[in-house]
Structure 1
C-alpha cells in the first residue's frame, strides 16, 4: 500500500502534491514540467510515415534522422524536454572516428533484423524519482568507429534460426576501448535544472571525445499555421538564451571545461536538409545536420551570426586512460554569476540523498541489497519511459496545409477509422526506442508498478486512454499506433482495482470515473467481438502475437475462431467490473443493479465455456476452436497461455452475499458447480470462476510441470511438451504447425518480432502469481497441491506463488557463479565491473536459461519485477468494504 509515512522526505511531498490532472501534468504539479519525455527514437514510427504503402521503417530511416525535421516528436540521447516538448535538451558526442555525430541510438528496422527491430547500443536508466527531481542515465560509446554497416549486413545475412548479431559481437569494445558517459539531472526547483556530465575513458590510452550538449526546439513553425518561430542566441559567452512564446525566456548556462576554457557555441536550424535528402533546395544554409557537418567535416554549415533553433556547446575533451572529467550545465530562467558555485553540487547531492530515502522507504523490511537494486533500477526505467506522445490522426491523414498532401490511399488505410484521436500528452511507453508508442495492455501493467511510485500519475495513465480524444465514440480503446483497431486484452479494470488498492482504497472519484468509461468499452466488446452472440469471443491475436499455429487476426475467408483467451478475458473483465460496482455501491446503492448485471453476464460467459468445445476433457485444458465455413469445429490443441488465462477469471464472494445475489439472478442462479470453501479464518466464501474447482485441478498439474510450463525462471508461454509433440493443423489448401521455441521465434508471423511460442514473459507470469494468491486467500493453507508436478511435495497456493516470485526475481539476481541469468552468455555483461551491475530490463526471457531477449530496454511491463520487490504479496487479508466483502 502506498503511504506517505511521516512526510519527511521531500520527494514524497512532491508526489503527494500531485493534483487532479484534468487538463495535463503541469496543471497537476509544476514539478512535472521538465522530465525524461524525449524518446531515444522518433524515426521509423507510424507518425512520421507519409508513404503511400505504410512502410514506416523505410519512409523515415535512421540515415534521414540527422537531416530531416520531425513532424510529431523529437529524439535524443539521455535527454529531457518540457511536457509539451517545445524545448529539448540531449547529449551529442563524437569519438573522432565515426562518419556522423552520435545524436541518437542506432538500431535495425523491423525489415533489417533477423528477429525484427532491435537497438544495437548499450545505455541504461540507472536512477530517477517520480517528479524527475533526480535522474541518472548512462551510455557506453566505442572509441573505435561505430560499425553501422556491419551490424546491418551481418544481421541481414543471418536467418531466423541464428542469434542476433550485437554490438558487443563486433569487437568494438575489446580492450575496454570505450567511453562511459553519465548524465545526472537534479532540479533545484521546477524551473531550475542542474546537469552534471561525467565522461570516463575506460580504455588503456589517452583519447579525445567531443561532447556537444545540445538544445533545440521541436519544429512547429513548418507545420502549424501562425506558429511563431522561436529563437536561440547567445546570452553571454557561457550561455545560450531561449525565446519561445509558450515557455518564455530561459538560459542554458555552461561551466568551463577541465582546461578552464568555455566551450564554443554553434548554431543551426531544426529544418530539413532537403538538398541532401531529396536533391531540392533547402530553406536554410544551416539545416538540422549543420552542426554534424561542421564538427565532422569542417563544413560552413553553422550560422556565423550565432542564432537559430538548434544550438550546442562544443567541448573537446582529452582524457587520460582510466580518468574521469566532469562538465556542468544549468537550465534556468536567467544567467547567474554563481551558477556553478558550491550550491550547484549541493543540489545534486541533496536530490540523490532524497532518492536514496525514497527508495529505502519503498523496500520492505529485510529486502536484500541485490533486490533493492533490482527494484530501484526497474522503477527508474519506468520513470524514464514517461514520454511525450503527439499524434493527431485527422491531421496526419489529411496532411498539413503548407506541405504536399499524403497519397490518396492513406485515407482508407492505417487508423483511418480513428480520426477523433488527437493525442498530445505524457504517456508511459514500453520503452523509448523499440516501442516509443503506447500499447493499451502494456499501459495497464505499467500503471500497477507506477502506483507504488506515483499513484496520481498511474491513475492519470488509466484515465487517459478512456478520455474522449483516445477512446473511440463506439467504446473501443486504441490498441497501439500501428493499428488502433487491433485488440489488446481488456485488463484496464483489473489494473484500476490494483492501483486503487495500492493507493489505500480511498479514491472513489477515480474509481467512479474509470468505471463509467470501462462499462462503455465492455459493451463494445460484447457488441463487436462475439460474432455469433453465443458468449464465445474472438478478438484476434490479443497481444499474444504468434502463440497459435495460425494468425488469429487474419483468418481464411469464412472461418471464425472461438478463443479461449478472449472469452476468459471477458469473464475476467466481468468480475473486475463487478468488484468495481460492488465497491462503488457503498456510496451509490443504485449500482447494486450493475453488480447483478455483471454476475449475470459472467454466468453466461462461464456457462458458454463450460458447455461449448473450448474445454478438452481428455487433456484437462482449454483450447481455441476454429470454426470452418460449414460450422464444423477444429480444436487447436496447443498447450499455451491461451489455456491458462481462464484461471484468472476467479473471484471470492462471502457466502451470505453470494446467496442473496443468487436469489436476484437468473443465469447465475442456474449454475450448479460453484464451490464453497473455508478460509483460514473460518469465514465461508463462494469462489466463482470460469474454471470450477475440478478443472482448476486438471490445469494446474500442466502449469506446475517442469517438463511443461514451469521453468527455473517462471512460466513458459507455451508448453515444453510441444518440443516432442509439435501441433499441426491441416485445412484445405494450407497447413500450419507450432512447436516449442524457448527463445526467438523462427516464424515471420507479425513481422518476425513475435515470440510467444515458449519464452517467459513477465506480465502473464505476474497474473498467474497474483491469481495463486487469490486462491490462497480463499482456499487457505489447509488446501495443498503437488508442486512441482511429480515431485510428491505438497504446498499451499500462497507458497507456490512465493516460489514463482523467487524464480522470476532470480533472472536478475547474481548467482553463486557470479552470473545473472538475464545477461545470458555475454561475459562482459556478467563480469566486467563497468557493465555487470547496470541492469537491462528485457522484453522477454529464454525459458530454459533465463537470457534476456527482444527489446533490451522494455522496462514497461518487465518493470513488474520491481513491483514484486516492493509488494511481495498482494494478499489483502480481511479487507472489508461494507455490505460487499472482497477477499482476494
Structure 2
C-alpha cells in the first residue's frame, strides 16, 4: 500500500490543524511603501526611507531577513547580523529607493530562497554577507551618477566580495508541530582567514498598541526566563517561548517603539526604543533594557570562525503554556526529517523525466513563491483619515491616491510579486502566482483567487484593485484564466470554487464593458494594462482633446475574458443547467468582440499584425504600427470546447448554431473538427490561417524571437523606430533589449524589448490549444528563414524550452540570466538561482527586480506541464 507523503497529509489537515498559521509571512521591506506614507505629496520613498527603518515603528506590517511570523503578524522572528565593521546592524536588506536608482528601486544585496514547502514545514534561505564594511554610501552615490543608458552599479561591482571575504549564511526552518518551530542558522566563513560575526536571532511583537487614542492597559511583553530562554506573553494569546542551544547567548531587550528623540527631536514612548539592540551591539551604548524586558528581543551569539569553517546555532519557538519544554536538543533530527519529507513531496510534484537542472530550477522557483507569502495589512479608510494617536493627515493626501478605495481593508496573507521590490499584491501578478502555486497547494491558490474578489477588495462597482500605488489602475483581466487553470490542476473537481469566482467576475466583466468601451463598439481601452512603457505614448493619460485610443490588447483581453467565462459557465452547467443561458451570452459576446477586433481597424492586412488605433481629434486614424506583445495578445483569445466534458448542452449548441446562421459573419471565429475522441470546437479571435501569417512575421531572430523566448517588442525597431506626432510632440518607440531609458512609470521596468514570462506562457498555452483542436497540422517556418517547419504545438514546446534555458548552465558556460557577473558562477554561488522580473532581449541576462519569483516562477509551471522536446531536423 502506498503511503501518502507527510507533506500531503499536512496539507489535507492544514485548515483544521493550523499548519498554515505560522509561515515566512514577514516582508523583506516595509519601508518606502504606500502604507507607511503619511506625507502631503505622496512621495512614499522619502516619507519613510531605509535610514528610518531601524529607528521608526511601522504602522501596518514588519520586515526582516529570513523572517517568520504568525498569520496576523502579532509576533515576528527574523535574523540580524553584524560583521564587526558595519555602521549599523544588518536587520533588513538594503536597496535603492525609486528616485535613487538609475532604473528605479533596486535591491543591492545577494540572497536566495532555496527551498520551501506549502505548509512551511521546511524552508531554506541563504544570504552572502560581506566581511568588509557594507558600502551603503558608495552604492547610492555611484548609481546617482549613472544615467538611464548605463548599467546599474551593483554590490558585486564594489569589490566587497574580493578574496571571498564574505559569510555564507544559511537559515533553515522546520516545524516539529503546527506551532513548534525549529530554526537553524549556519554561517560559513568563505574568506582566507579567521573572522568574527555576531548572530542575533530576533523575536519581537508588531506594534499594534500605539495607534489608538489611549494606550491599552496591558501590553505584550518579552522577558528572559532563564539561560538561553525568552518568554513572550500577549493579551488574548498563548505564551511564546524561544530557546537557543547556547546558554551563554546574551539576551537583549528594547521596545518596538520609535526613537522619536533621534528622528524628530521629541520625547519618545520608551527609553529603549526600536534601535536599542542595534546601537548596543554596534556602538556599545547602554540602549538595551537592563531589566531584561521589552517588546523586542534578541539572542546575541558571537562566533570566531576559521577560514573555510562553519558554525551552527539552533533555536526553537513554541507556543502554549503547556508546550513541551523539549529544548533544542532534537533540532537536527527535526530538520533532517522535514528536509527528507520536502524531498519526498517534490518527487510527487516534479515530472519524472525532468533533468537535474530542471528539477533544481523548478524547486527553487516554487520555494520563492512559498517565501513570497506575506502578511498584507492595509485599511485604506483608516490610512486616509489617520490614527487617533497621530496628527490628522494633510488634506492633500486624499487627492493623491486611493481615495475611492476606502472600503479596502486587508489583514490577509497574500502572494506578493517580490518581498523586497514589490512587497504588495498586484492583481494580475497574483493570478500568475496562483497558477504555479496550485501545483503545490491548490487549496491556497483557490483561496487567494476567491480573496481578491471578496467585498473587502473588489470595489462595489465591480473593479478589482490593481496595486497599492494606485488601486484604481487597470490590469489585464486574467483572473478567470487563472481560476480555470487552478481548477484543472486541482483535478477538475471543485465546482463550488469555480462558481464563487464566476459570480464575482460577472460583476468585473460588466465593469469593463461599462467603463472601457467608450465608443460602444466592442473595441476596448484600458491604459497601459500592466505593459508599462510598451507604447510610444502613455496609454493611460491621453487627453480627450487629443483623441482616443482603441487598444488591440485591451480588446483581445476582453475577448479572452468572454471565452473564459463561457468555459466556466459550461463547466458549471454540468451541475446546474441554469448556467447554460449565461454561457450563450458569453458565446455571443465573444463573437461580437472578435469581429470588431478583426474588422474595425486593429488588424493590418499588409503587416499581418494587430495594432492599437489612435483616433485623433482632427478625424485622422493612426495605427500605432509597433510590432509588440500588444499585437500578440489576440493570439491568446482561443478556447477549445470539448462537448463530452460539459454534459448535456443541447440547448446551448442549438442556440449557438441558430446565432451563427443568423450572423454568418461570425463563422470565421468558430472551427469545428472531428477527432477520434469526439468533436472539438476551437473558438478563436485569430483564425489558424491568420495565425500562420502572424507567426511568420514574429518568429524571426531579427524580430520577436530571441534565444530565450518572445521579445516584448520586435528587434526590427532597433534600426526602424516607430514615431508618431501627437499634440505637436513626437512620440517614439525603439527596441531596448535591457533596462528602460524611459522615465514612464518610474523608469523601473521596460516592456520595449526584453523577455517577460507572463505573456510568453499565455502564448504557449494558446498555441497548444490550436494544435490539439484543429486535427490537421498547420506548419510554420520556424525560425523564419531556417527552412525548417514546425506545428503550432512544436513551436509552443520550443518556446517553453527557450524560457527554461534562461536558468540552465551548459557546456561550462554560466546560466544566461546570471552571465553578466562571473562571481555568480563561482562554486559558492552557482547553485543559488535568482528569478528576475524580466530578461535581456538579446542575451537573457536577468533584469529588473532580482527576486521577482512571482510571475517568473511560471518557469516551474512550464517544467511541470512540459511536453515533448522539439525533435531535431
Using the size of structure 2 for normalisation, the TM-score is 0.96
Residue of structure 2 in register with 1:14 after alignment: 10
3-state DSSP class of the match of 1:396? helix
Which of residues 430, 437, 443 in structure 2 aligns to 1:456? 443
Residue of structure 2 in register with 1:565 after alignment: 553
2:737 is the counterpart of 1:751: no
CA RMSD of aligned residues (A): 1.7
Shift of 1:683: 4.4
| Number of residue equivalences | 857
Residue of structure 2 in register with 1:240 after alignment: 230
3-state DSSP class of the match of 1:613? coil
Residues 554-602 of structure 1 deviation map (CA, whole Å, 9 limit, x = unaligned): 1134222100000000000000000000000111111111111001111
Equivalent residues in 2 for 1:716-755 (5 A)?
716-755=711-750
Kept in 1, the 8 Å contact 2:401–2:470? The answer is yes
Residue of structure 1 in register with 2:280 after alignment: 294
Residue of structure 2 in register with 1:89 after alignment: 77
3-state DSSP class of the match of 1:248? coil
Classify 1:149/1:238 alpha carbon distance in 2 versus 1 (closer, same or farther; 3 Å): same
Residues 632-654 of structure 1 deviation map (CA, whole Å, 9 limit, x = unaligned): 31111111000000011112336
Aligned mates of 1:454, 1:339 — CA distance in 2: 31
Residue of structure 2 in register with 1:328 after alignment: 314
Shift of 1:659: 5.5
Classify 1:106/1:246 alpha carbon distance in 2 versus 1 (closer, same or farther; 3 Å): farther
Residue of structure 2 in register with 1:714 after alignment: 709
Shift of 1:798: 1.4
Kept in 2, the 8 Å contact 1:596–1:664? The answer is no
Equivalent residues in 2 for 1:509-588 (5 A)?
509-558=496-545, 559-588=547-576
Kept in 1, the 8 Å contact 2:674–2:680? The answer is yes
Shift of 1:178: 0.4
2:54 is the counterpart of 1:66: yes
Aligned mates of 2:758, 2:655 — CA distance in 1: 33
Shift of 1:731: 2.5
Classify 1:631/1:217 alpha carbon distance in 2 versus 1 (closer, same or farther; 3 Å): farther
Residue of structure 2 in register with 1:303 after alignment: 289
Residue of structure 1 in register with 2:646 after alignment: none
Aligned mates of 2:282, 2:331 — CA distance in 1: 33
Kept in 1, the 8 Å contact 2:721–2:735? The answer is yes
Which of residues 134, 142, 151 in structure 2 aligns to 1:163? 151
2:460 is the counterpart of 1:470: no
Residue of structure 1 in register with 2:854 after alignment: 860
Shift of 1:105: 0.2
Residues 279-335 of structure 1 deviation map (CA, whole Å, 9 limit, x = unaligned): 112222101001111111111111111101001001111111110001010001368
Which one is further off, 355-364 or 698-707? 698-707
Which of residues 258, 279, 282 in structure 2 aligns to 1:272? 258
Aligned mates of 1:173, 1:37 — CA distance in 2: 30
Classify 1:246/1:627 alpha carbon distance in 2 versus 1 (closer, same or farther; 3 Å): farther
Residue of structure 2 in register with 1:883 after alignment: none
Kept in 1, the 8 Å contact 2:669–2:686? The answer is no
Kept in 1, the 8 Å contact 2:29–2:92? The answer is yes
Shift of 1:437: 0.2
Kept in 2, the 8 Å contact 1:489–1:569? The answer is yes
Residues 385-417 of structure 1 deviation map (CA, whole Å, 9 limit, x = unaligned): 000000000000000011111111112330000
Residue of structure 1 in register with 2:829 after alignment: 835
Residue of structure 1 in register with 2:187 after alignment: 199
Aligned mates of 2:674, 2:59 — CA distance in 1: 58
Residues 310-361 of structure 1 deviation map (CA, whole Å, 9 limit, x = unaligned): 01001111111110001010001368664122x3211111100000001111
Shift of 1:669: 5.3
Aligned mates of 2:17, 2:553 — CA distance in 1: 40
Kept in 1, the 8 Å contact 2:771–2:777? The answer is no
Equivalent residues in 2 for 1:248-287 (5 A)?
248-256=238-246, 262-287=248-273
Aligned mates of 1:660, 1:58 — CA distance in 2: 62
Aligned mates of 1:314, 1:32 — CA distance in 2: 29
Aligned mates of 1:246, 1:857 — CA distance in 2: 37
2:220 is the counterpart of 1:210: no
Classify 1:18/1:283 alpha carbon distance in 2 versus 1 (closer, same or farther; 3 Å): closer
Classify 1:720/1:679 alpha carbon distance in 2 versus 1 (closer, same or farther; 3 Å): farther
Kept in 1, the 8 Å contact 2:587–2:656? The answer is no
Using the size of structure 1 for normalisation, the TM-score is 0.94
Shift of 1:874: 12
Equivalent residues in 2 for 1:30-429 (5 A)?
30-224=18-212, 227=216, 228-256=218-246, 262-333=248-319, 338-341=326-329, 343-429=330-416
Residue of structure 2 in register with 1:699 after alignment: 694
Classify 1:246/1:389 alpha carbon distance in 2 versus 1 (closer, same or farther; 3 Å): farther
Shift of 1:235: 1.8
Shift of 1:781: 5.8
Kept in 2, the 8 Å contact 1:662–1:668? The answer is no
Aligned mates of 2:390, 2:677 — CA distance in 1: 71
2:438 is the counterpart of 1:443: no
Aligned mates of 2:843, 2:506 — CA distance in 1: 42
